[in-house]
Amino acid sequence: MVEGTARVVTDPGFADVESGEILVSPTTDPSWSSIMFISAALVVDIGGALSHAAIVARELAVPCVVNTKTGSRCLRTGDRLRVDGTTGTVTVVERAAEPITAYHGGDET
């Protein structure tokens, strides 16, 4: 189980992720590795026990919750999260004071 700050990323090429943040993304593939290696936990919309995110998380020994379906749309950068990989739960401990505008490769959200 890990508690930390969420960083919602939709494009790994335009991400400014700090070490120890919790990566929240729609999906992952090998191009996400540099971000995953510094993340404290992973929360991914699509995937299962044999998905890229789950396998990398096991190799890195970090909590991972996959198949959230809407995590990258419901969670916000700056939210304080608790990720429990054993139970597969993501808890919002505290919402970010204000949504943080982030660049996602062509659109601002």
What is the reported pLDDT for 108?
Answer: 43
Q: Which CATH superfamily is domain 2-94 in?
A: Phosphohistidine domain (3.50.30.10)
Q: Which residues are catalytic?
A: 52
What is the reported pLDDT for 99?
Answer: 58
Domain chopping of the chain, boundaries: 2-94
Question: In this structure, are residues 39 and 83 in contact, taking their beta carbons and an 8 Å threshold?
Answer: no
Model's pTM, two decimal places?
0.86
**CA dist., res. 44 & res. 51, Å (int):** 10
Using 50 as the pLDDT threshold, list the residues of the chain that sit under it. Answer: 103-109
